[in-house]
Chains A and B, each alone.
Chain A
Amino acid sequence: MSATRPDPAKLYRPKMPATWWLKKKSYFLFMLRELSSVFIALFLLVYLYQIYQLTRGPEAYISFTQKLNSPGWILFHLIALLFAVYHSITWFQSSAVVLPVRLGEHLVPRQTVTALHIGAWVVVSVGILILFLALKG
């Protein structure tokens, strides 16, 4: 078969530009999804550090949480939250592709699977928020 192959010396090999992910909306959204993991990881590190402060006693913990009230930290948490929400939505969209759901002979449409996942996620999130507010109050 190799006899039928083109002469490699005459081939033109185009290079992929470093800006490939800016060329198409879907590529850009994919990169945002990948980037979301960085912000979620950073948030978790901050959160772990916060728990560590708890082990150092109430003063250390309170002084750290006060630092987190600064506009810079609030902005960081807001960005991390937006990325976490975006990541979760793409996760539920992906789940519907990876795990097809069957009811008898019929395949449940992907949009329905995603919508049910997101619905359950919202209910659980609101539940946790209510529990948190009830415990706080």
Chain B
Amino acid sequence: MAEPTITLNVTRYRPGQDKAPTTQAYAVPYKEDWVVLDALNHIKDQMDGTLSYRWSCRMGVCGSCGMMVNGTPKLTCAAFLRDYYPGEIRVEPLVNFPIIRDLVIDMSDFLDKLKSVKPWIIRKEEKPVAQGEYLQTPAQLEAFHQFTQCINCMLCYAACPVYGLEPKFLGPAAIALGYRYNMDSRDQGQEQRAVLGNHDGVWDCTFVGECSVVCPKDVDPAAAIQRSKVDTTKDWFKSILMPWGER
């Protein structure tokens, strides 16, 4: 009996040659324990070495292999062929990003935005190492812990229609990470992350909520954004009511 196969319809785009992306079909062996990334690696190794895509850890940690699988942003290392078989699978680059080649998108915009929220601990004054570490209670850790799980895979940007329509929008992951540091009891840099409260920050978000649905690490960017809206509003009222008070 012939080995069962599954068809992958893969987006191809050769910069400088193609005007627009095209689709190429590959019939790859169907194996129950294969994920879409395994199938792509099979194509690359055995069928067509010209196919380009990003991947690294193949275990949901590095966040490199995010693509659109049948129209939904997914880590291809976690998208099993068996969930689609015997149907065909459409593999496209993450939407809302420019395409460099085939399945590789340009992430420069995301990296700039990530940097703009200063996702690191900012202290007004660093204390010397000799004075020991900054201690936290379990409750203080709990306040931000889930947002530390972000792996910068950008699936949330592909799921966000606001980012698609308004490219200036800071976007789910960058806001969630900015919020993560604002909520960290060791951090004192909230004023330096004013970009979160700008129009292109949290206020562009219309709470579609898909960012949190597609997140492979169960981070909840939608919640971070809505809570940031509440915090920003509270700060604004405080600044009006108590212009000289400490915020």
Name which of A21-29, A39-47, A74-82, A118-126 contacts chain B: A21-29
Considering the complex, give the chain A residue whose CB is closest to the CB of B98.
A11
- Cβ of B98 and Cβ of A30 under 8 Å apart? no
Name 19 extra pairs, CB < 8 A, besides A11-B98, A12-B99: A5-B106, A5-B108, A6-B100, A6-B108, A10-B100, A11-B15, A11-B99, A11-B100, A12-B18, A12-B98, A13-B99, A16-B96, A16-B161, A16-B164, A27-B161, A30-B161, A98-B229, A100-B223, A105-B139
Least CB distance, A111 to chain B, in whole angstroms:
15
Once A10-B16, A30-B208 are accepted as A-B contacts, the answer to whether A21 and B161 lie under 8 Å apart by CB is yes
Interface positions of A from 10 to 60, Cβ below 8 Å from B:
10-14, 16, 20-21, 23-24, 26-27, 30, 34
Least CB distance, B86 to chain A, in whole angstroms:
24
- Cβ of A14 and Cβ of B95 under 8 Å apart? yes
Least CB distance, A136 to chain B, in whole angstroms:
39
List B residues at the A interface (Cβ < 8 Å).
Answer: 13, 15-16, 18, 20-21, 71, 95-96, 98-100, 106, 108, 139, 161, 164-165, 206-210, 213, 220, 222-223, 226-227, 229-230
**Measured between alpha carbons, how far is A12 from B220 in the docked complex, in Å?**
30
- Cβ of B165 and Cβ of A12 under 8 Å apart? no
Q: Is the CB of A94 closer than 8 A to any CB of chain B?
A: yes
**Chain B residues in 8 Å Cβ range of A16:** 95-96, 161, 164-165
**Chain A residues in 8 Å Cβ range of B222:** 97
Interface range for A: 20 to 34
**Measured between alpha carbons, how far is A99 from B121 in the docked complex, in Å?**
25
**Chain B residues in 8 Å Cβ range of A26:** 208-210, 213
The 8 Å CB contact of A20, one of B108, B161, B227, B230, is B161
Which of A12, A98, A105 has the most chain B CB atoms closer than 10 A to its own CB? A12
**Chain A residues in 8 Å Cβ range of B230:** 98-99
Considering the complex, give the chain A residue whose CB is closest to the CB of B13.
A12
Least CB distance, A46 to chain B, in whole angstroms:
26
- Cβ of B20 and Cβ of A34 under 8 Å apart? no
**Measured between alpha carbons, how far is A134 from B81 in the docked complex, in Å?**
62
The 8 Å CB contact of A97, one of B13, B98, B99, B223, is B223
- Cβ of B15 and Cβ of A27 under 8 Å apart? no
